[in-house]
Amino acid sequence: MKVKIGNKSFEVSKDAEGGYPEEITLEFDGTLRTEDEESTFIENHKKEARKEGLEIAVKQYRDEFGFEGRSIDKLIEAVQKKTLEDAKIEPAEQLKKIKATLDEKETALQNALSKVSEKETEFKSFKNQTKLDSYLDSVIPSNTVLPKEDIKLILKTKLKFDVDENENIVALDNQGNIIKNTTTANPEDAKKVVASFFKDNQSYLKPVEGGSGAGDSGSKGNKKSLDKFIEEQQAKGVKLNSPEFNETLTKQVEAGLVDVD
């Protein structure tokens, strides 16, 4: 009789009485395992193989990184140590240097922005002064006793002006507040403030022909007639109702120099 176990076959002979023995002993070169035992056997060999392979791999880096042992932890520790040694700097110190560099750049940026702000302020001041100079040139009477540039300097000293958010010239009081119209509470026309100044300071104006040069500039004795004004302008070659004629007439009427009544 043949007994087959797995892929192995065994011959079993009858005993002396012509029957088969109750117990059969099988002998062969090898180890017989169940399916579960075989699976466990293979997995254990894999673990051993992985461990041995890892140890062999780690061993290859011992000389390069200078460490003892065969574990991956020892290799990682050695790599970290060598990296720091090669960098010649501690992580905290490295962060400190990076922060210092950032601080320097931040300071440089703030300085640059500050300079830009200064230039913008300077330009705005220059622009406002240019606008004010042009405005005063247009409202200073033509019969001043001093050159217009001198009168303009006097006005800037005696009066205060500014440019509002709408780019309009406004007059200020001694406290730096905008002078308001008492009727409307709107900013007072700066032209009226200048005209009032000359009305109160006749000494800055040349005497009007035929007048005493003193007293209230609103009195007719200090004003020239409209006919006299036309005569003067024609003598200068300025045509009646020309832009130049009308502009000059407006200025002198507002300054109280011409009587149009």
Could you tell me the residue range of the domain that residue 20 belongs to?
A: 2-87
Q: Structural domain tally of the chain?
A: 2
CA distance 224 to 256: 9
One digit per residue, the tens of pLDDT, for the chain of length 261 reads 676 666 667 676 766 555 666 666 666 666 666 778 778 877 777 777 666 666 676 676 666 666 666 666 766 776 667 766 666 656 677 778 888 888 888 888 888 888 888 888 888 888 888 888 888 888 898 888 888 888 888 888 888 999 888 888 988 988 889 998 888 888 888 889 999 898 888 888 887 654 444 334 344 446 788 778 888 888 888 888 788 888 888 888 878 787 765
DSSP code, position 172: E
* Boundary (domain end) residue, out of 43, 63, 87: 87
Question: Is 120 part of a structural domain of the chain?
Answer: no
Query: Looking at the whole model, is its pTM more than 0.85?
Result: no
Is 170 within 8 Å of 164 (Cβ atoms)?
Answer: yes
Question: Is 71 part of a structural domain of the chain?
Answer: yes
CA distance 88 to 83: 9
Question: Is 251 part of a structural domain of the chain?
Answer: yes
* Boundary (domain end) residue, out of 53, 87, 121: 87
* Boundary (domain end) residue, out of 87, 114, 149: 87
Question: Is 117 part of a structural domain of the chain?
Answer: no
Question: Is 229 part of a structural domain of the chain?
Answer: yes
